[in-house]
């Protein structure tokens, strides 16, 4: 089964646009927790939220509220820093996805550069696993990054679909799908679970449903955008409808 993780960051982006510094006030809207509860109600499999170092969207109080009040698993996206590890130890999320935030942590395409930063990422992965978090590394669909993720001890790789999502021509899209397939194969060979995310929407999600052995997609912007016109429940249901088309291979 393919799972849908709903990323609620941009609900907070909208709230912060008006209520920066006032996010805990009763009138501060929209509320990421309310969005997450609506997603849960209609069958989303998980909620993802990224506590960025600059706190541009989610705040610590948002993550705490999600952790306390949402029953489906919380996937905390975070930078691989001591500050964020300390926060994760406080809230003990069942899933953590390490993502790059600074220029030097990025590969050219935007995933975490595990190859260059192997020692630090390995240490942080091990620390997070001590609090029983399943650790995912957000990487480009590059077999060499996948190999390094396995060496780092990760449980999961989340394949960055941004280059696929932004491809302008059919041949670029086909090329990107091939890269995703190759990376997913490599991850399976190495015993890693495979997630995918970034830039996926109601149209382009279908195109990657041929990648074998996908376990989860994490989608935010597109669902939240659709929710503005049809409401959160309908927007999540529509995405689940596409996700359920994934029938598949040996590892699903």
Closest-approach residue to ligand PXP (CB): 197
Decide whether 65 or 205 has the Cβ nearer to ligand PXP.
Answer: 205
DSSP SS3 for 241: helix
CB nearer to ligand PXP: pick between 95 and 198: 198
For residue 139, with 0-12 CB atoms within 10 Å meaning exposed, 13-18 middle and 19 or more buried, which class applies?
A: buried
Give SS3 for 40: helix
Q: Per CB under 6 A, does 45 bind ligand PXP?
A: no
Please pick, from the candidates 43, 110, 153, 199, the single residue that binds ligand PXP as defined by CB under 6 A. 199
- Lay out the site mask for ligand PXP across 7-26 (x = CB under 6 A, - = otherwise): x-------------------
Q: Which residues are catalytic?
A: 50, 77, 198
Q: Please tell me the distance from the alpha carbon of residue 8 to that of residue 69, in angstroms, as a whole number.
A: 14
Q: In whole angstroms, how close is the CB of 138 to ligand PXP at the nearest point?
A: 4
Q: Does position 218 bind ligand PXP by CB under 6 A?
A: yes
* Residues that contact ligand PXP, how many (by CB under 6 A): 16
CA nearest neighbour of 49 among 2, 82, 15: 15
User: Strand, helix or coil at 77?
Assistant: strand
Asked if 75 touches ligand PXP (CB under 6 A), the answer is no
Task: Examine residue 77 and tell whether it contacts ligand PXP (CB under 6 A).
Answer: yes
Residue 138 makes contact with ligand PXP by CB under 6 A: yes
List b or e across 50-64, with b for residues whose CB sees 16 or more CB atoms inside 10 angstroms. Answer: bbbeeeebbbeebbe
| Under 8 Å between Cβ of 219 and 193 | no
Point out which residues bind ligand PXP (CB under 6 A).
7, 50, 77, 97, 99, 138, 158, 197-200, 218-222
């Amino acid at each position: 089964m393919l799972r849908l993780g709903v990323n609620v960051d941009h609900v907070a982006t909208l709230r912060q646009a008006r209520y920066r510094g006032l996010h805990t006030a009763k009138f501060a809207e929209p509320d990421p927790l309310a969005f997450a509860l609506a997603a849960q109600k209609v069958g989303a499999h998980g909620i993802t939220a990224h506590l960025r170092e600059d706190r541009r969207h989610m705040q610590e109080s948002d993550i705490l509220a999600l952790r306390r009040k949402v029953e489906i698993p919380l996937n905390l996206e975070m930078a691989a820093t001591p500050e964020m590890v300390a926060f994760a130890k406080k809230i003990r999320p069942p899933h953590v996805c390490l993502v790059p935030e600074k220029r030097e942590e990025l590969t050219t395409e935007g995933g975490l550069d595990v190859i260059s930063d192997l020692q630090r990422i390995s240490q942080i992965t091990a620390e997070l696993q001590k609090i029983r978090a399943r650790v995912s590394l957000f990487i480009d669909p590059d077999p060499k990054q996948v190999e390094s993720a396995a060496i780092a001890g990760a449980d999961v790789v989340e394949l960055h679909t941004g280059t696929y999502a932004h491809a302008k021509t059919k041949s670029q899209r086909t090329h990107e799908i091939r890269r995703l397939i190759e990376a997913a194969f490599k991850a399976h060979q190495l015993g890693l679970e495979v997630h995918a995310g970034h830039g996926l929407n109601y149209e382009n999600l279908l195109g990657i449903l041929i990648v074998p052995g996908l376990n989860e997609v994490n989608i935010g912007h597109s669902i939240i955008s659709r929710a503005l016109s049809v409401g959160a429940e309908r927007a999540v249901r529509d995405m689940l409808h596409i996700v359920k088309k994934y029938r598949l291979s040996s590892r699903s």
